[in-house]
Structures are given as C-alpha cells and as structure tokens.
Structure 1
C-alpha cells in the first residue's frame, strides 16, 4: 500500500497531488490498467466514429444490391447493434464482476481483451474486406464483443482497489477513470486519420493494438499485493509489511452485495447517467455530421472535446472530493450544472469554437459524475467499513453498478434513433435532461442520509464537548470549595493556637 511520507522537493507529479509515495508495482498497475481499458474503449468508439461511412457503404449500389434499403434503415440497424451490445455488456458485467472476486483477475482481463479484439476485427475488417454483409452475423459478433468487453471495467477497478488505499482515493481514481475518455480520443483520432483508406482500416489498427496490449497485461500486470512476494522494495520496513500481507479475503456474494448501503441508489442513478453519456458516445459524431452538416472527419475531431471535458472533470472532481465531507454532494452539484449545459448545447450555433467550448463544458458536467460514480464511489462501496475486512466485494459492486448502468444505456441506444426520427434532435437533448433529473432524484436519498449522519456525529461531538466542559467546571468548583475549606481550617487552627 502507499506510504505517507514528508513532502520533499524532488517528488514526482503523482506523489505531489496524492500525498503518497508509490511503489514500482503501483506505477505498473496504474499504467497498465489505464491503457488497457483505454484500448478497450477505443475499439468500442470506432463504430460510433465511422457510422456515416458504414451507412453510406450499406446503402450504396457499388457492390450490387444494397445491404440496407435506405439511410433510415441503416441508422435503425446501427441502433439495434448498439442496443444488443449494451444488453450483453450489462449481463456480462454482472457475471464478470462476480467472477472477478473468485478467479485470477489478470488472466480474465487479458482473455477478455483478446476476445474483444478478435470479435471487432471480424466485425469491422473481414466483413468489409470480403464484402460479406449479414445482419445476423453483425449482431452475433457485436454481442460477442459486448460479453468480452464486460470483463474490463469491474476487473480493473478491483485491481486498482487492491493496490491503492482510500487516503487519496478520489484523486487517484479520478485521474485513473479518465482512461475511458482517453480511449475515446485515441479511437477517434485513429479513425479520423485512417478513414480515407476505408472504414475497415480503423478497426484493423485498433484491434491490433488491443490484442498486443492483452499480451502485455497477461505477463506484466500484478493483480494484488498478496499475489506476489516481491511487491515491495527490499528494505527492513517493507519486509515487515510483506510478512503481514493478508491472504485474499473471501468473496461476499452477488445478492448480499446489493444490500451494501448505497449500492441500489447509485446503481439506478448510474443507469440514468449512462443513458446520457453513452448517447453522446454512440451518436455525437453522427449528430455533428447529420444534424449540423459537417464533414465526417471534421465531426470526429470536434467530438473529442466532449471527452476532454470528461478527463478534466475526472481529475478536478476526484481531487476535490478528497477534500470534501461527501463525494455525493459534489456529484449532486455537478448534476444540477449539467441541466444548464445540456440545454445551452442543444441551442448551440454551427460554429466550431462555440461547439468545442460547449462540448467541453457538457463533458465536464456529465462525464465528471459518471467517472466519480464508476470509480471513486464504487471503490468506497466495495471497500465499505461495514464489510470489516471480512469479504471481498469490489469487483462485484463494480459489476452491479456498471451493469445496471449499461441496462439504462441499452434502453437509450434503442430510443435515441427513434426519437431523432420522429421528433428531431432537440427531442433527444430534452430526453437527456429528463434522465439527468432522474439521476439527481436517485442520489438525493443518499445525500440526505449522509447529511443526517453528519448532523448526528456533530451533535454527539458537541454533547461530548459540553460534558467535558461541565466536568472541568465542576472540578474547578470542587477545587475552589476544597481550597476554601482548607483555608478556613488553617485559620481556625491558627486562632486556637493563640487561645
């Protein structure tokens, strides 16, 4: 675990902002989990980025009979693909979260990454290379991708929770949770630069990177301190710590994990919040191309500003939450701000500068709460004091919350293309605002409960302080009375001696 040491002038950046000195293995864990999930997210983002090209290919006559009758049919089929992905991803999260607390996380993570790379490679590259278009095959491959990618988040959050304590959890997990947004940017940039070669080449490049990184994870990522004997440098202090490392605690169980206070509330809140965030994730490049009539590569580059806002929010909100009495209150305030940002963005003009700025603000207000719930809050719940160190539940908690969130996202991917077709893009943004309202309502009971708990603790502290003051006052009065009686006795004794 991190060791608290006095600040010195030659500290690195992460030590300065977290207040903790990291071991070599903690650096390895942070880097590999960060970039492995970034690669996972980049493969997922590729389809969202190249949707206009796919729609054009599916509806063109260049290969004979068009695969799709019209652009409307192609758009709706892509919505079906996104929905099928999120449903299977949600189911996989529930399963993977539970398995992650029972089996080797490193092996599970590398296997999931490799299977995802193979599925996406077949989906995006092979089918286009050989002009083999089949709706059942597309759905099957994207379902396989959903199951494979579901291994990533709960396993990686559990690994991070094993290696980093809660003294600076908000800061560490806040920085780390920017991995998803970083992956979105990587996927978008690769797609925008390789798209001129054909939409299949972005899939080829990103799948190769993901498959290669799965090998690195398998050989170099330590799952937890108790899985290795050489996790700390060989000095006397760390040898003592090494001898005291606990064995892996038993897993709590799927259904018992739901009963941890806050799990249900944050699960429902995350479902509503992921509806909005994944709506931007899957449809923002297409909205910029179709709704604002910008070229596809231009729209892809512009959409990255939303992810930049999410990255900034992860770092700033994570660090701020460590200095606040409650992470929930900070999430609540950011959700309130998201209403305004979503409405303003829905009315934004077709200006690159304005859109970039408003996407940055919207990504900050929406992506910040999302990243905090999926990382810092999940780690707090999974390492709850109520477990008293007797059970391991972090991967299961992560799977439950993220799985429930993915169910909300699956509903969103079905509704968004239909709302856009029937009522236009403004109706989509109003739907986003409604879901943010639902998110705020879901976490309100947790916020109220936390405030009541703080008031009770403060009342107890005040009562204890008053009791200590009254005891000290009574002791002072007793001392004064005793001194007065002693003085009288002395005076009386003196008078008798004179007599």
Structure 2
C-alpha cells in the first residue's frame, strides 16, 4: 500500500510539474512578441499567423491525440511529445525565415496537444471518482505554474539578454520536464491494486469497447455545446495570455518586465481558481460544476472589461488580473476537464477532452490571427512614434466573454432539464 501511494502521488507530481513545463515551451513566444516587432524581425500580423499555427495544430492534435491516448502508453507519449517541443524552442532562438517559424510553431502545437489528455488519463487511472475533483483542481494549477514561470523568468531573461534567450531558456526548463515525466509518470496502477484501491466503482460502461464509448461521446450534443462555450472562453484566455504583455506595454507604457509581472499575477491567482474550484464543487455543491462555472464566467466578463476600459492605474490593472486569473482558472478546470469527465463514460475520457480541446484551440487560433491583424491595422506613426488604437480589440475581447457566459447559461439549463427528465 505504501508503494502504491508513493507511485500514485508520484504520478500526480509528474503530471502537474510536467504539464506546467509544457506551458513554458508553449508560451515563450508571447513574451518575445514586442521585442521581435521592435527589432523589425516580425510584424504583428506575422506573429498572429505564427501563433495561430500552434493553436490550429493543437486543436486537431488534441482531438486526435485524445483518442490515441486512450489506447497507448501515456508515459512515453507525454515525455516524447515534450521532447519535440523542447527541440522546437531551441531552433526558434535562431534567425530563420517566417514560414519556417510557422511550420515549427505548428509542429510544437501538435505535440503540445498530447500533454493534457495524457495527464488526465493517468490521473483518472490512479484516483477514484471521490478524489477526482480535488486532484484535478490541483493538477489544473500546472498551467498557472508554467505561465507564471514564463511571464516572470522569461521576461527577465529576454530583458537582459534578448528575445532569442526567451526560447532557449524555455527549452532548458522543458528538458527537465522530459526527464521528470519519464521517471515518475506510471500510466496506471498494477492490475491487482487498481480494482481494490482505485476502482471503487465498476461501471458497466467499462465492459464496452473503447470505440463504442468514443462514438457515444461524439453523439452527445452537450459535449459539443460545451466545446463551443469553452472555445469562446479561450478567445478571452489567450487574448490576455498572448497579447496582454503587448497591450500593457503599448497602451499603458509599462516596461516588458512590468507587463510580464502583471500578466503573471493572473497566472498566480489562477492557481486559486483551479485548486479550490474542484474541491468546493465536490464539498459544497455535490460535484455540481455548472453553477460555479457560470459565476466564474461572469467574473471573467468583469475582469476583461476592467483590463480593457479602465484608465491607466497599477491598482486597477492588478485587480483586473486577479479577477481574470481566478475566473479563468475555474473555467479551465471545469470546462476543459471536470464537466467533460462527468459527462463522458470512463473509457472515453480522452475522447471527451479531445473534443473540448478542438473547440478551445480553434477559438484560440482565430483569436490569434484576428488580434494580430486588428493591432497592426489600427496603428499609425505620428512624429516617428507608433500610436495604437485598441478600440476594435476591446469590442472583440469583451464580446467573447459575454458570448461564453450566455452559452454556459444554456448548458446549465439543458443539463438541469436532462437530470429532471431522468429522475
């Protein structure tokens, strides 16, 4: 039993730290955007295209890799995929042609997409349903860890040494994650322990074929509606994550390190949302996720409005990032995982996560292209100085937050109606 517990918590630690370092290798571009533009290396539109390549390949990759992860060894899959991401970040530190950057960053997105499904499946195999909400909440903080590390450490490195070192420092941190995952991430408990220690429930669905269960997930309209709502929410998430540093520096005249520190506030506070959301819903709401998801979505709308429309004020900007981080942390934990896990049969969790991921990163990719275009097309040169007009961006990002809130309301209503009908 002691060995089992050691292995179980080793899996949790490997999934959490490992996936956090996935994010370091994914977000490195966000820190170096302004320096790249200032150096004349790339334009905002080009950066939007490069960023969208990751999101679109991630969307398709997460859909396919979610199904694939249900069938193969997630330890090798997760470690190997991060190794490719490390290699891509190393290469991007060199001056290479624009379309080569697009291809490499798209390749990064494809292999990045394996991290989430592999982590969820490993946790699902090792922890019972009674533990799942709390454990998943803590694991979801992994992206906050990765974001905070990127926005603080990479910003300092880039400010001191140049944008190339933003990619190289990410590659070094990711390499550590590869080793850590390979050593500690065991795909599932030994068969003799898994029945008594983990599988306290023995659903009939597990006796069905994986293919049949995955088809059942595909036919579930609420899964697809959840993917749409989550995808629109990801427009907000990556609007701030991808362009927040740029916006703070260009519109509110913060330095790169100051802007990175402000965005890191959202990542750090997001840990609160991700960790405690699952525990609160398990403990006080009888594992009902949608009421808290609705409240978090409303908070996200308020945070985006403050971020975009409030006048320059460090206090207000910090408050907006606190609210944004907590709300997005809850929404990622619920919409990107727990709600899908609750709706899907256990043998097809990877498929459900894959479908949600498809919606998430199509939304993020569309955001990246449109945001880059709107920023570049609405800037002018006045007396040798670049002047930005972010009015269109403000409407775009706030509208996305409002639409996501509306869709969550619809999902909440439909699931409540289904439960009443079943009772």
Asked if TM exceeds 0.5, the reply is yes
Question: Of the candidates 380, 389, 402, which is equivalent to residue 437 of structure 1?
Answer: 402
Confirm whether residue 225 of structure 1 aligns to residue 215 of structure 2.
no
- In structure 2, do the counterparts of structure 1 residues 338 and 217 end up closer, same or farther at CA, with 3 Å as the change threshold? closer
Structure 1's unaligned 5+ residue stretches are 3-21, 60-66, 69-73, 385-391, 461-499
Paired residue for 1:210? 174
Q: 88, 96, 99: which is aligned to 2:57?
A: 88
* Distance verdict in 2 for CA 1:146–1:164, change over 3 Å: same
Q: CA deviation at 1:140?
A: 1.5
Contact kept? 1:161, 1:379, Cα under 8 Å: no
| Aligned counterpart, 2:367 | 412
- Write the mapping of 1:412-491 to structure 2, written as runs, cut at 5 A: 412-422=367-377, 424-453=389-418, 455=420
Q: Is the 8 A contact 1:173 1:318 kept in 2?
A: yes
Is 1:56 aligned to 2:38, yes or no? Answer: yes
| CA distance, structure 2, for counterparts of residue 175 and residue 238 of structure 1 | 21
**How far apart, CA to CA, are the structure 2 residues paired with 1:136 and 1:261?**
38
- Match of residue 265, structure 1, among 215, 225, 233: 225
**Secondary structure class of the residue paired with 1:225:** coil
User: 2:197 and 2:365 mapped to 1: Cα distance?
Assistant: 47
Deviation per CA, 1:269-318, whole angstroms, max 9, x where unpaired?
11111111011111111111111111111111111111123211112322
Shift in CA distance, 200/98, structure 1 to aligned 2, threshold 3 Å: same
In structure 2, relative to structure 1, the CA distance for the partners of 1:141 and 1:456 (3 Å cut) is closer
Distance 2:300 2:102 in 1: 34
Deviates more, 1:345-354 or 1:149-158: 345-354
Which residue is 1:395 aligned to? Answer: 350
Q: Which of these residues, 218, 235, 248, is aligned with residue 288 of structure 1?
A: 248
Q: What's the offset of the Cα at 1:145?
A: 0.7
How many angstroms apart in 2 are the aligned matches of 1:381 and 1:182?
A: 28
State the secondary structure of the residue aligned to 1:320: helix
Do structure 1's residue 173 and structure 2's residue 142 form an aligned pair? no
Q: Deviation of residue 435 (structure 1)?
A: 1.5
Count of aligned residue pairs for this structure pair: 404
Partner of 1:46: 28
> Could you tell me how far apart the structure 2 residues matched to 1:318 and 1:240 are?
20
User: Against the structure 1 CA distance between its residues 247 and 331, is the aligned structure 2 distance closer, same or farther, given a 3 Å change threshold?
Assistant: closer
Within the candidate set 223, 234, 240, 1:274 is matched to 234
Classify 1:252/1:445 alpha carbon distance in 2 versus 1 (closer, same or farther; 3 Å): farther
Structure-1 residue corresponding to 2:331: 369
CA positional deviation for 1:240: 12
Q: 1:327 to 1:54 in 2, by over 3 A?
A: same
SS of corresponding position for 1:223 = coil
Answer whether contact 1:157 1:379 (CA < 8 A) is retained: no
Change (3 A) 1:250 1:295: same
Q: Aligned in 2, Cα 1:218/1:231: closer, same or farther, shift over 3 Å? A: farther
Tell which structure's C-alpha radius of gyration is larger. 1
Supply the distance in 1 between the matched residues of 2:392 and 2:242 (Cα, whole angstroms): 17
* TM, length-normalised to structure 1: 0.75
Q: Distance in 2 between matches of 1:35 and 1:165?
A: 21
Which structure has the highest helix share of the two?
2
8 Å Cα contact 1:382/1:395 also seen in 2 = no
Deviations 1:36-72 (A, max 9, x none): 1100101111110121112223x1xxxxxxx55xxxx
In the TM superposition, what is the alpha-carbon distance from 1:369 to its structure 2 partner? 1.4
Secondary structure of the equivalent of 1:102? coil
Who is 1:347 aligned against?
Answer: 309
Higher RCO structure, 1 or 2 (CA under 8 Å, sep 6+): 2
Match of 2:19 in 1: 37
2:85 touches 2:111 (CA, 8 Å); kept in 1?
yes
Q: What do the CA deviations read for 1:345-367 (whole angstroms, capped 9, x no partner)? A: 22223222321122111222233
Whole-angstrom distance in 2 between the partners of 1:446 and 1:357: 29
TM-score (norm 2): 0.88
C-alpha separation in 2, matches of 1:205 and 1:164: 34
User: What CA distance in whole angstroms lies between the structure 2 residues aligned with 1:34 and 1:280?
Assistant: 23
Q: Secondary structure at the match of 2:312?
A: coil
Q: In 2, Cα distance between the equivalents of 1:347 and 1:416? A: 17
Task: Find the residue that maps to 1:291 and give its secondary structure.
Answer: helix
Question: Cα distance 1:450–1:381, how it changes in 2: closer, same or farther (>3 A)?
Answer: closer
Give the Cα separation in 2 of the matches to 1:434 and 1:382: 30
